[in-house]
Amino acid sequence: MKANRSGLFWGILLIGGGAVALAQQMGYLSEFPDSIWMWVFGFVSLAAFLSYALSGWKEWGWLFPAGVFGGLAFIIAFAVAGYDNPAMASPLFIGLLIPFLAAYLTDRTRNWWALIPGGVMLFLTFVLFMADNVSGEWIGSLFLFMIALSFFIVYLNNRGRNWWALIPAGVMFFLALIVVLSGTMRGEWIGSLVLFAIALSFFVVYLNNRTRIWALLVAYIMGVLSIAPAMSSGGGDTAAYFGAIFLLAIGLPFFVIYFRSSEQNWWAIIPAGVMTTLAVITTLAIAGWIRDQDQGGYANAILMSGLAVTFAVVWWRHAKPWAKIVTIVLAALAVASVFFASYNEIVWPVAFILGGGYLLYTALRPKTV
């Protein structure tokens, strides 16, 4: 019958540990030297490592007790020698790093996950060495950078399957930079960088596989939103112009869709034109060119003109008969808005009445055969 090495190891360890503890409690080992635990833990670590070796260097789970007990043995040795430094605890984290590294090297395809806890253990080791010499911002930045590096290595391990790792890798990397710069940078710029980092991460995901249009869309939205915090730091009315930029940003994708295939995607020019016109009106209003109620008619005129041009493109370029009627009505309203700027409140009611009258006319007029 083949013996279970794991059961034998832990069984002997528990019995031995219980026997020693019992002997101490009963007073038989009252003169027990402190350094004895260093040798006990060292022996346990060596036994676990030998079990790992006897498994053909495949059962990396044995490295957990080997690393942990080996690390504890070194910590006790440092304590007995009189060292008093945070770095003396580093062997424990190095001992925890070793099994994760071995797991990854044993099967890089299946055990890619081991890079993440391994990176954390490596970071904690660095922290213990730098705790007395480095500020808290740099320690926090290094922690985020190690996480970013771990995810990036996961991506490099299998670029086709682990593309998702680029997102946390990019975000964590930029957050690491932000933590370092937080003492010298305004909060608005930090917010802008966070959004830009998310945008850039999704854009890299798109570049990795151009069929992931959703990643490009998320990158575009986050990139546009990243402008807002930066603009708010400018003071005055600068932040208000983000409304116009946002409207243009909504219209831009529709322009791209339209010009990529205008015959098939003729409809895209309508939302593109509407958003562009609204952006122009918003900009003029913020700039103070449309300031009071008497000038509201000019805003209506610009709106009607922009919509008229949009539908004129649909009419002339794509031969849509219905767009001709819409273009003529909108152009007439644009002209009326200019001449009756002081009465802009009645423009829309009059427009509805005229539109309703035209519909009644078309419905009631005799049909020619």
265-320: pLDDT as tens digits = 888 888 888 888 888 888 887 777 665 455 555 777 788 888 889 999 988 888 88
CA pair distance 274, 268, nearest whole angstrom: 10
Cβ(86)–Cβ(128) below 8 Å = yes
Q: Are residues 158 and 126 in the same domain?
A: no
Specify whether 126 is located in the same domain as 152: no
Mean pLDDT of 129-156: 75
Residue 167 lies in a domain: yes
Q: Give CA–CA dist 187/13, Å, rounded.
A: 55
Instruction: Tell me the backbone φ, ψ of residue 43, rounded to 5 degrees.
Output: -65, -45
121 and 171, same domain (yes or no): no
Tokens of 205: 């995901």
C-alpha triplet 39, 41, 45: angle, nearest 5°: 115
Are 190 and 124 part of one and the same domain? no
If asked whether residues 148 and 68 sit together in one domain, one would say: no
Last residue of a domain, one of 202, 234, 266: 234
Which token pair is 199? 């945008």
Confidence category of residue 1, pLDDT binned at 50, 70, 90: very low
CB-based contact 71:92 (threshold 8 Å): yes
Give the model confidence (pLDDT) of 47-103 as tens digits. 888 888 877 878 888 888 889 989 988 988 888 887 777 788 889 899 999 999 998
Is residue 86 assigned to a domain? yes
pLDDT, tens digit, 9 for 90 and up, residues 168-200: 888 888 778 777 776 666 656 777 777 787 888
Does residue 338 lie within any of the structural domains? no
pLDDT bracket for residue 6 (50, 70, 90): low
Those residues whose C-beta lies under 8 Å from the C-beta of residue 237, and which sit 6 or more positions away, are 286
32, 109: one domain: yes
Same domain for 198 and 98, yes or no, is no
Average pLDDT, the chain: 77
Q: What is the pLDDT of residue 341?
A: 54
Residue type, 31: E
Interval 311-357: pLDDT, tens? 999 888 888 888 888 888 888 878 777 766 555 556 667 666 766 77
Q: d(Cα 207, Cα 101) in Å, to the nearest integer? A: 30
Asked if the structure places residue 148 within a domain, the reply is yes
Q: Which of 234, 260, 287 is the last residue of a domain?
A: 234
Residue range 91-119: mean pLDDT, rounded: 86
Instruction: Provide the number of structural domains found in the chain.
Output: 2
User: Which of the four pLDDT bands, split at 50, 70 and 90, describes residue 260?
Assistant: confident
Q: What is the largest CA-CA distance in the chain?
A: 119
For residue 98, what pLDDT is reported? 92
Task: Say if residues 158 and 112 touch (Cβ distance below 8 Å).
Answer: yes
Domain's final residue, options 208, 234, 260: 234
pLDDT value of residue 351: 66
How many angstroms from the chain centroid is the CA of residue 109? 25
- Domain span at residue 102 reads 21-133
Same domain, 152 and 125: no
15 falls within a domain: no
Percent of the chain with pLDDT over 70: 74
295 vs 344: CA distance, rounded Å: 8
Q: Which of 108, 44, 168, 74 is nearest to 100 (CA)?
A: 108
Q: How confident is the model at residue 106 (pLDDT cuts 50, 70, 90)?
A: confident
In a domain, 311, yes or no: no
